């Protein structure tokens, strides 16, 4: 199978030339493929191309999409959640989050996840496989097509651990930046943190992309090593202080601040002593803390922190000189937790 999604304009010019067509035919494919207004991504639909060229592309096995729509949910706040089937009958989730000024696409990088974070529905069935670049990018097209709006921001915060699929991740970022015309500064890569991979991410970004301007978000969720190992089993392989050291180095190399994701869990990590401990851990370099309301799932014992505790925690961080905000949860009435839609679909 030859998937054209993720191809650069030069790649598509070469496809046209290899088929005996002029190079501008490749540019026509390129302009059609990455235009969100073209709702049906099929070679048959590119009427601007000669029929014999379209037939040749189809005969030689060229395609655009990798995924098929299985389920679609629209929450009361306008948040769109899609469950998409792969060609090997697996499924992945993606989310479209609209506001007045932007449309953010939350993308998956793997089918399932190997990290087994105790608060997350995605890891309950483990890792099936990593996604190809075309499967990652196809999620954007589905969101744009369903919402009839161009995606403006990207967050790799869906299913999977992006740094365990780093080659396809960086190819996706290249295409998102150059082909979908979305600035790297509007892309966020979220990771639980894998030993040695934070440094590798910046190094490979400069090698493959020429720059590293996207935001790195660390799913920290704890103020010390003991708590982190309790909720993230893989944390035993990567001490929290080493993570922070690697983040400091990332900031030095890229000039980009690091975000720390902090899921507020009642009685686990939401006390003022934890806020002070977190402040001491991350102070002194360019970073930001995103406090997150926990989306409840039935299979785990964790509970949301109270609004009062969340506010006190945020205030203490701010008083300690830490840049902090509370991220508003979206789509709470429609399988809001990551992996929850996929898991519920399997139960049906």
Exactly one of 106, 113, 247, 338 is catalytic; which is it? 338
CA–CA dist 200, 205 (Å, integer)? 8
Exactly one of 13, 93, 135, 144 is catalytic; which is it? 93
As beta bridge partners, residue 69 has: 84
**What is the Cα gyration radius of the chain?**
21
Q: Does the annotation mark 338 as catalytic? A: yes
Q: Tell how many helices (H) and how many strands (E) occur in the chain.
A: 11, 14
Q: Does the annotation mark 277 as catalytic? A: no
In this structure, the strands spanning 215-219 and 258-264 are: parallel
**CB distance 92 to 105 below 8 Å:** no
What does the DSSP assignment read for 208-255?
A: HHS---SEEEEE---SSHHHHHHH-GGGGGS-HHHHHHHHHHHHHHH-
CA–CA dist 138, 327 (Å, integer)? 27
The C-alpha angle 260, 263, 268, rounded to 5 degrees, equals 120
CA–CA dist 122, 303 (Å, integer)? 18
Report CA torsion sign: 117, 121, 127, 133. Answer: negative
CA–CA dist 152, 150 (Å, integer)? 6
In three-state form (DSSP H/G/I as H, E/B as E, the rest C), the secondary structure along 76-131 is CCCCEEEEEECCCCCEEEEEEEECCCCEEEECCCEEECCCCCCCCCHHHHCEEEEC
Mind telling me the catalytic residues?
93, 338
């Amino acid at each position: 199978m030859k998937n054209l999604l993720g191809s650069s304009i030069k790649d598509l010019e070469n496809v046209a030339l290899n088929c005996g067509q002029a190079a501008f035919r490749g540019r026509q494919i390129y302009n059609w493929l990455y235009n969100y207004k073209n709702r049906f991504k099929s070679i048959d639909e590119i009427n601007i191309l000669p029929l014999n060229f379209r037939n040749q592309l189809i005969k030689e096995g060229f395609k655009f999409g990798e995924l098929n729509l299985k389920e679609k949910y629209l929450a009361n706040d306008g948040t769109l959640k899609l469950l998409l089937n792969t060609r090997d009958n697996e499924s992945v989730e993606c989310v479209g989050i609209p506001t007045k000024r932007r449309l953010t696409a939350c993308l998956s990088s793997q089918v399932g996840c190997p990290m087994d974070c105790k608060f997350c529905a995605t890891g309950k069935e483990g890792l099936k496989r990593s996604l190809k670049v075309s499967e990652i990018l196809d999620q954007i097209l589905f969101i744009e097509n369903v919402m009839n709006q161009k995606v403006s921001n990207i967050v790799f915060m869906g299913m999977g651990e992006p740094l365990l699929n780093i080659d396809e991740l960086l190819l996706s970022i290249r295409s998102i930046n150059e082909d979908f015309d979305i600035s790297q500064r509007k892309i966020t890569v979220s990771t639980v943190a894998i030993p040695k991979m934070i440094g590798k991410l910046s190094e490979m970004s400069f090698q493959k992309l020429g720059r590293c301007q996207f935001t790195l978000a660390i799913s920290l969720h704890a103020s010390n090593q003991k708590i982190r190992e309790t909720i993230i089993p893989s944390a035993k392989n990567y001490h929290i202080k080493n993570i922070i050291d690697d983040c400091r180095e990332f900031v030095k190399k890229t000039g980009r601040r690091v975000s720390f994701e902090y899921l507020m869990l009642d009685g686990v990590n939401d006390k003022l002593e934890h806020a002070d401990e977190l402040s001491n851990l991350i102070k002194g370099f360019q970073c930001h803390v995103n406090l997150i309301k926990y989306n409840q799932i039935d299979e785990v014992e964790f509970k949301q922190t109270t609004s009062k505790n969340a506010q006190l925690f945020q205030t203490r961080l701010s008083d300690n000189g830490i840049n902090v905000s509370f991220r508003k949860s979206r789509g709470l009435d429609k399988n809001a937790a990551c992996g929850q839609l996929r898991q519920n679909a399997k139960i049906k």
